[in-house]
Amino acid sequence: MSDINLSNLSYISREDLSKTFLESDAAPSLPKNLAIIDVRDSDHIGGHIRGSTWVPSSELDYRTPELVRNLKDKDVVVFHCALSQQRGPSAALRYLREKRRLDEGSKTESKGEEDTGEEKKAQKVLVLEGGFNKWQEKYGPDKRLTEAWQKDIWEYGQ
């Protein structure tokens, strides 16, 4: 049993996440040091956060090691599902556990190699409060922040 559990998770509000897009003077875009992972399944229809990566929760078993490797240079990784009550937090936990497993494996392999003395900055893994449902309530129509948003889907419920 892993010692990484729900109490280890941190959350980010939709307002704080949106600020990361809008801080740039250029056209709003996802900062290079940030990744957003959308783990909704068929409920992914109707829009998504600009620049997010869709990894359906049904694919997490085999895609998590790939995610850890591909996102190793990101300072912040944000997970979300529709409500961020189950799939989003579960995905974040799975990611953290796999990251630890792979990090420990690489430490074992690198023993005996020269230490550069540089401390690697710890990656922050967060969950979006309220998930995409809460995000789209405020930012769905905002094309700077949301892509492929379909008002009729959200107006009448998914």
Q: Give just the sign of the alpha carbon dihedral 91, 97, 102, 103.
A: positive
Q: Which of 55, 78, 81, 127 is catalytic?
A: 81
Which pair of structure tokens corresponds to residue 75?
A: 């300072």
Say which residues have a Cβ less than 8 Å from residue 45's Cβ, sequence separation at least 6: 150, 153, 158
CA–CA gap between residue 93 and residue 113 (Å, rounded)? 30
* Residue 81 designated active-site: yes
- Beta-strand relationship, 53-54 and 34-38: parallel
Q: Known catalytic residues?
A: 81
